[in-house]
């Protein structure tokens, strides 16, 4: 499973800035650190905005499904 979340680093630990549904306590995760001061790409900004309004990240599958339907 892959999810992109924002976090704050404080007191030696990363603290998510939003609730993480379905994540069990003490589950190991892999972090990729992107400095919040560096400019975000257009795609990253779109994903960050989109995640505020939906419960799952956009992966493009909806567009592919619509195209498949219209090809029938």
Q: Where are the domains of the chain?
A: 7-71
Residue 28: per-residue pLDDT: 92
Q: Are 21 and 31 in contact (CB under 8 A)?
A: no
Could you report the average pLDDT of every consecutive run of 10 residues in the chain (72 residues)? Answer: 84 88 89 73 73 62 64 66
SS3 of residue 20 by DSSP: coil
Global pTM? Answer: 0.43
Residue 57: per-residue pLDDT: 54
Could you give the CA distance from residue 62 to residue 31 in angstroms, rounded to a whole number?
27
């Amino acid at each position: 499973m892959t999810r992109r979340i924002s976090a704050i680093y404080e007191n030696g630990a990363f603290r998510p800035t939003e609730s993480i549904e379905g994540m069990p306590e003490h589950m190991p995760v892999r972090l990729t650190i992107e400095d919040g001061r560096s400019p975000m790409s257009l795609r990253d900004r779109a994903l960050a905005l989109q995640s505020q309004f939906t419960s799952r990240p956009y992966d493009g599958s909806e567009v592919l499904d619509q195209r498949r339907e219209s090809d029938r």
